Amino acid sequence: MSKKTLVISGATKGIGRATAYKFAKEGINVAFTYNTNEEIANEMVKDLEEQFGIKARAYPFNILEPEKFKELFLLIDEDFETVDYFISNAMIYGRAVVGGYGKFMRLKPRGLNNIYTATVNAFVCGAQQAAKRMQKQGTGGAIVSLSSTGNLVYIENYAGHGTNKAAIETMVKYAATELGEFGIRVNAVSGGPIDTDALKAFTNYEEVKQKTCELSALNRIGQPEDLASACYFLCTSEASWITSQTLIVDGGTTFR
């Protein structure tokens, strides 16, 4: 897999950052997006290249404008010879999800629409651009979307996100079915609660963390590296007959 290229959205923190480092450690070039913090993104590029001897580039991108994935990939074409793996990871929280994060009776169209745009539309637009390049290269590829077990079990205030995660897992199945003839595999990685800044933004973060540790058969909350390893596995030849699936990485929390 060395000298191939991963494109991942939202990689300056949390799961995205852990995933970028996991792939770089294996000798894979990394093209990643960031939202606003250019300084952190540039520091990460330098660190990835110095640590692992790969090529890394960072691109500013607003995940609420998924139609601009076309322009983004044209920039990536200038910096990298191929696109072999695409991971749809970026998500929104904070002000953008007002009306989408809360109990059912408080949900509002604007917040819900923003979550859908950043989750489902972003996956579709990004995966389309990646698949076009994989198809043209004729060597196949792997596409992965991050998901969440919040569409399988009840999580307080998570209705807006949980329903969109269910949608993304269905979209993955459609993409996998139609792209399989080109040797392109499409899967999702569904995580239980992972200890990231996005989770810390939840008003009941401490409660969620404690409850996750209690429910987990392994007595701990998930870490970004847990999902990064799952994403990497699905892109390797070890997973060459796995497509249209959702790999659940939850520490056993959804069974209890």
Q: Whose structure tokens read 């637009």?
A: 125
The residue that leads in pLDDT, 187 or 207, is: 187
Alpha helices in 80-182 (DSSP H): 109-116, 122-137, 159-179
E-only strand ranges, the chain:
5-8, 29-34, 56-60, 85-88, 141-148, 184-191, 246-249
Q: For 67-113, what is each residue's pLDDT tens digit?
A: 999 999 999 999 999 999 999 999 887 888 889 989 999 999 999 99
Q: Which residues pair with 32 in a beta bridge?
A: 8, 58
pLDDT tens by residue, 128-183:
999 999 999 999 999 999 999 999 999 888 899 999 999 999 999 999 999 999 99
Q: Residue 23 corresponds to which amino acid?
A: F
CATH code of residue 93: 3.40.50.720
Beta strand pairing call for 141-148 and 29-34: unpaired
- How many C-beta atoms surround the C-beta of residue 166 within 10 A? 15
Amino acid symbol at 217 = A
2 has pLDDT over 90 = no
Closest to 170 in 3D by CA, of 192, 195, 187: 187
243 DSSP assignment: -
Instruction: Compute the mean pLDDT over every residue in the chain, rounded to the nearest whole number.
Output: 94
**Best CA proximity match to 187, nearest among 122, 115, 241, 116:** 241
Range of the domain at 58: 5-255
Q: What is the pLDDT of residues 22-62, one digit of tens each?
A: 999 999 999 999 999 999 999 999 999 999 999 999 999 99
pLDDT the model gives residue 200:
76
Domain count, the chain: 1
pLDDT on residue 25? 97
The pTM (predicted TM-score) of the whole model is: 0.95
pLDDT digits (tens, 9 = 90+) for 198-248: 777 766 788 888 888 999 999 999 999 999 999 999 999 999 999 999 999
Contact (Cβ atoms closer than 8 angstroms) between residue 187 and residue 245: yes
pLDDT computed for residue 64 by the predictor = 97
Active site residue ranges: 158, 165
Q: What is the mean pLDDT of residues 188-206?
A: 83
- Predicted confidence band at 256 (pLDDT cuts at 50, 70, 90)? confident
Q: How confident is the model at residue 17 (pLDDT cuts 50, 70, 90)?
A: very high
